[in-house]
Amino acid sequence: MSDPVVYDKKPCILDLQPGTYWWCRCGRAKSQPWCDNSHAGTDFQPLKVELTEPTRVAVCLCKHTQHEPKCDGSHSRLPVEPAIE
């Protein structure tokens, strides 16, 4: 499997209502952190997230968390990309 696109190196803090959400694992979705089917043609599939009560969560945007879809600080261990001059 290829590596996901790092959408951002910080989490998205959201207050979510009960319901079903599809977390983007590929990092390509324009509707981050949720899937918009941009993974088509890749090895990635979105993660189904079902909530039964209102929940505040830090959702991972770097796509390297070990606790999908929650941020676990993995973004702090990603390599720093050089600045474009």
Q: How far apart are CA 74 and CA 77, in angstroms?
A: 5
Decide if 69 contacts 27 (C-beta within 8 A): no
Q: What pLDDT, on a 0 to 100 scale, did the predictor assign at position 84?
A: 57
Q: Indicate whether this model's pTM tops 0.85.
A: yes
Q: How far apart are CA 7 and CA 55, in angstroms?
A: 23
Q: What pLDDT, on a 0 to 100 scale, did the predictor assign at position 67?
A: 96
**pLDDT beneath 50: ranges in the chain:** none
Q: What pLDDT, on a 0 to 100 scale, did the predictor assign at position 38?
A: 96
Q: What pLDDT, on a 0 to 100 scale, did the predictor assign at position 79?
A: 85
For 28-47, how does the pLDDT look when each residue is reduced to its tens digit (9 = 90+)?
Answer: 999 999 999 999 999 999 99
